[in-house]
Structure 1
Amino acid sequence: MTTVHEASYEILRSQGLTTFFGNPGSNELPFLKNFPSDFRYVLGLQEAVVVGMADGFAQATGRPAFVNLHSAAGTGNAMGALANACNSHTPLVVTAGQQVRSMVGVEALLANVDAANLPRPLVKWSCEPACAEEVPLALSRAIHTASAPAMGPVYVSIPYDDWSKEAGPGVEHLASRRVQHAGSPSANTLAKLAARLERAINPVMIVGPDVDACSANDTAVALAEKLRMPVWMAPSAPRCSFPTTQRCFRGLLPAGIASISRLLDGHDLILVVGAPVFRYHQYEPGDYLPAGAELVAIFCDAQEAARAPMGDAIVADIGETLEGLLREVHQSSRPIPAAIKRPEFAPEEPGPLRPERVFDLIDEMAPRDAIYVNESTSTTNLLWQRLRMAEQGSYFFAAAGGLGFALPAAVGVQMAKPDRRVIGIIGDGSANFGITALWTAAQYNIPSIFIIMKNGTYGALRWFAGVLEVENVPGLDVPGIDFCAIAEGYGVQALRADSSESLTKALSRALASNKPTLIEVETRAP
């Protein structure tokens, strides 16, 4: 007899989901019993941190990651992190334990009432199998759904008495299934788009996170150079899809309607690749497009294509479409855009360090292939101006703006990319949302570097208070937090920096170490 437990583990093994990120409760213990020696369990101390680690791991590997949460309470704790994963198209297979079937109807303690609806709309698909025999099929469907374009999180709630039941007939076919996706645009579609680009007098390209996710950054560079187009990074970008050192690169677009339209003024054709059109933030009404401009966007997500407020859309594989366009278009005779001048190295000044100075020192000392995980939200524009990010997969940011992403994601990304240095740059307000990830980094000896930009305030909120013209708002300051003491309490070596000299020494020590390190940096508000 093959049990549901045995069949499910064989499916997970065959599909490569042998690393679990979780925080177990009583409902999950029957699933985790006799944990196989070829699987790895990564414990997080809170569910949002668990999902954040899995999010970083899945984005960095490009493959689904497996998450195990505790019933409704654990799922609720993870919802903010699920919002980030949903917006970044992160393939996560999220499972949650459920009470035994006979106790769900009476709503016993730890029953997940209406379990499939709980995580919606933050998952692509969710279910609670109708019977134990359906559990292996539900897991198989979850894995393939998470991986299908556009990728994203899925959710399966599983009653804990199902694991010991007998699996149904035909279950042996599930483990070996493979699902392939063919999403190339037609030759006619490519030819029409290429002709449109070649007719344009002054085209511009805007690249989004899905370019980096499909490892197509080099193709985007080649297309920009061939058509002599300037390139912007899409607003609120959770990944870096174009080298910030490349001469066509113009920077990170702001997240306001009027500001984007103003910066794109003078371009007659706007090509958006792998990004929503657009992910706005602050309320800044205006024209969606500058006068005389047309927009065409290439999406991997049909929902993003449908909800765009302007422009034409093509839903297709991002990488293959860029490669097809590159073959189809002819070399432009326009002059190539002149490279923008990098800012001067920020000068040494008395008192707390300016964020610009911190970024300059990090950029000077970090390996060129370093990976940055950012959650210093008030200094994001400065980061994009001063850090040289030229390699594929060099940057990650909370796609939905949910705080608590960077600390755990830096752990997950470092697990996925052990040969590259991962540096989390995190505001002191943001850090508290995911601080328990330090424990996981220490326990599993994951050598991420966590740089806490400590200015004692929610800098992004202070900026918004100015934008919204509101005064005397409570709750904007977070003084009196000793991050070094917290880190040491979790077992992470901690260093404090309040000058260029001390920051340089701390960075040298952290980069030379093979252990996780937290650096608390006294900074000025930007």
Structure 2
Amino acid sequence: MATVRDVTFDLLRRHGLTTMFANPGSTEIPLLTDLPDDLNFILALHEGSVIGMATGWAIANEQPALAILHTTAGLGNAVGAIATARLNRAPMVILVGQQDRRHLAFEPFLTGHRLDDLARPYPVWTGEPARAQDVPGAVARAWHAARDLRGPAVVIVPMDDWQAPADDLEIPAPARLRRADAVAAETVSELVDLLTGARSPALVVGAGADGERAWAALTALAERLGCPVWQEAFSARAGFPQDHPLFAGFLSPSRAELRKQLAGHDVVVSVGAPVFRQYQYEPGPLVEPGTRLAIVTDDPDEAHRSPVELAVLASPAAVCELLAEQVPARSGDPDAVGRQIHLPAPPEPGVPLRGRDVLAALAARLPRETVLVEETPSSRPDLHALVPARTPLGFLSAAMGGLGFALPAAVGVRMARPDRPVVAVVGDGASLYGIQALWSAAHYRVGVLIVVLANGRYAVMDQLARGHSAGGSPAWPGFEEVSVRGLAHALGCPAVRINNYDQLVRILDDTLPTLADRDEPLVLDVAVEAAPGTYSG
């Protein structure tokens, strides 16, 4: 007789969940022992890396990934990464093990208490099947929830359920679900009128507009309007080609600076981004009086919390396609708003490397189709200024802002998209939160390039402390003794320590031209000087 495990495996195959990212424990043994050959098991050495790799895989594949976690300890270790996956809108089915159902009442060793609450509110859906035969249906429901709500969905499964007979079993979920992507003309009529009557419109784009169709539609709309296009602050993905003449740069997370940037625009429409992402609190309005705000998004939460005159809840790509057809083309040549990117000159011999020197060297050499995964808070302003995203999925970062995303996410992206070169740019402090992912990269021969900007400290925190008060002194020490190269070697991953510019460009010139074909990871542990100043987002 077929078991619950057999039926669930068939369901996983039907929904394309045949690659599973996991760090197993004893409660997952009945599920994972003697896996069929067509199910691909990927081991990560920490649960944060499990979810981080699955997040990168899901974003790059644009379909749900499958992750498996071990009861309380595994789910608890992964909560931060699950929160990041939710804000990055990465669809994911997470199976969480639980002790044997037959003696849960006695609270045996490794019993998970209130597992349904442990990661709340970050899963988009959580299921705890009442009986073993309900497990396949819960997994199917989780797949639909992850796909439609674009986030992690959790199913908690007692370990004995997998071997239960699959009799009296029904799947309370559709085998196939079709979605309507069309947008009616009346849906955008108010937005058409708003833009048609604008004297000086502007667009703001965000992660929700990252895709080939949305990029094409936004480019057509911006050119029809002849208006500047801004990228939202702290965006996890690029929503517009950043080498386009109409790309104006990145919005500030400061209200005062934001008002200056958008001053003079009477209509601002945000596409695939909230209105507007902030950081430290500042009093005052978001925009100057007289500026009318609208938003286009497929995320209800994003629409509901945006203080706008008009919100359109629909596919950004479909809406912008209609707008580009219906909004009259503006006469005259648009203002020259495109950024001029000027790469800094190489440092003089003997001068310590700065983060921007490394980023400039990368910018001059990165293949156009590179996926750049970022987690270097103190150098992010320089990265945005020097390294434009030129293709969809060209830039990826953690929407949550917590550390530990970039290393595993880069590995997951490259696994899902072996046709794209993948480069992670990571601070040494950030790398320590997800360093275990280097073992998975090496073991599974994932050809990512990881550039670690190593200044031996939490530089962004030092900058924030100095900005908090005149001469502010951080309470935390540096960690110059840590060797990322040594840690990489200990995890079986090739790594090189780089101490000067000539060595850096030599290795980049050797590595980047063939990065798309690379089947082995490489870590560049680059010694850089901590830059002074205050973090600007």
TM-score, normalized by the shorter chain, greater than 0.5: yes
Aligned to 2:474: 473
Q: Which amino acid aligns with 2:341?
A: R
| Whole-angstrom CA distance in 1 between matches of 2:230 and 2:113 | 46
Q: Which amino acid aligns with 1:341?
A: Q
Residue 508 in 1 paired to residue 494 in 2? no
Aligned to 1:518: 523
| Whole-angstrom CA distance in 1 between matches of 2:425 and 2:335 | 31
Whether the 8 Å CA contact 1:426–1:453 is kept in 2: the answer is yes
- Seen in structure 2, the aligned counterparts of structure 1 residues 211 and 476 have a Cα distance that, compared at 3 Å, is farther
Aligned to 1:395: 395
Aligned to 2:166: 167
Aligned to 1:120: 120
Aligned to 1:266: 264
Aligned to 2:241: 243
Aligned to 2:281: 283
1:33-112 → structure 2 map (5 Å cutoff): 33-112=33-112
| Whole-angstrom CA distance in 1 between matches of 2:438 and 2:213 | 29
Q: Which amino acid aligns with 2:499?
A: D
Q: Which amino acid aligns with 2:507?
A: A
| Whole-angstrom CA distance in 2 between matches of 1:428 and 1:42 | 25
Q: Give, in angstroms, the shift of residue 476 of structure 1.
A: 5.0
1:194-205 → structure 2 map (5 Å cutoff): 194-205=192-203
- Seen in structure 2, the aligned counterparts of structure 1 residues 117 and 215 have a Cα distance that, compared at 3 Å, is farther
Secondary structure of residue in 2 paired with 1:413: helix
Residue 429 in 1 paired to residue 408 in 2? no
TM-score (norm 2): 0.94
Give the length in aligned residue pairs: 524
Secondary structure of residue in 1 paired with 2:82: helix
| Whole-angstrom CA distance in 2 between matches of 1:130 and 1:173 | 13
Q: How far does the alpha carbon of each residue in 1:26-62 deviate from its partner, in whole angstroms, 9 at most, with x for none?
A: 0011111221111111100000011000101111111
Q: Give, in angstroms, the shift of residue 421 of structure 1.
A: 1.1
Aligned to 1:218: 216
Whether the 8 Å CA contact 2:452–2:526 is kept in 1: the answer is yes
Q: Give, in angstroms, the shift of residue 214 of structure 1.
A: 7.0
| Whole-angstrom CA distance in 2 between matches of 1:103 and 1:301 | 42
| Whole-angstrom CA distance in 2 between matches of 1:360 and 1:80 | 32
Q: Give, in angstroms, the shift of residue 308 of structure 1.
A: 2.0
Tell me how large the CA RMSD over aligned residues is: 1.7
| Whole-angstrom CA distance in 2 between matches of 1:173 and 1:3 | 18
1:316-327 → structure 2 map (5 Å cutoff): 316-327=314-325
Whether the 8 Å CA contact 1:228–1:336 is kept in 2: the answer is yes
Q: How far does the alpha carbon of each residue in 1:356-378 deviate from its partner, in whole angstroms, 9 at most, with x for none?
A: 21111111122111110000111
Whether the 8 Å CA contact 2:343–2:386 is kept in 1: the answer is no
Q: Give, in angstroms, the shift of residue 192 of structure 1.
A: 2.0
Secondary structure of residue in 2 paired with 1:272: strand
Secondary structure of residue in 1 paired with 2:476: coil
Q: Give, in angstroms, the shift of residue 285 of structure 1.
A: 2.4
Aligned identity (percent) is 36
1:368-379 → structure 2 map (5 Å cutoff): 368-379=368-379
Whether the 8 Å CA contact 1:488–1:494 is kept in 2: the answer is yes
Q: Give, in angstroms, the shift of residue 170 of structure 1.
A: 5.6
Q: Which amino acid aligns with 1:45?
A: L
Bigger CA drift: 336-345 or 134-143? 336-345
Q: Which amino acid aligns with 2:119?
A: P
Whether the 8 Å CA contact 2:465–2:473 is kept in 1: the answer is no
Whether the 8 Å CA contact 1:104–1:113 is kept in 2: the answer is no
Q: Which amino acid aligns with 1:66?
A: L
- Seen in structure 2, the aligned counterparts of structure 1 residues 315 and 32 have a Cα distance that, compared at 3 Å, is same
Q: Give, in angstroms, the shift of residue 173 of structure 1.
A: 8.6
Aligned to 1:151: 150
| Whole-angstrom CA distance in 2 between matches of 1:102 and 1:11 | 25
Q: Give, in angstroms, the shift of residue 468 of structure 1.
A: 2.0
Q: Give, in angstroms, the shift of residue 477 of structure 1.
A: 2.0
Whether the 8 Å CA contact 2:462–2:474 is kept in 1: the answer is no
Q: Give, in angstroms, the shift of residue 93 of structure 1.
A: 0.7
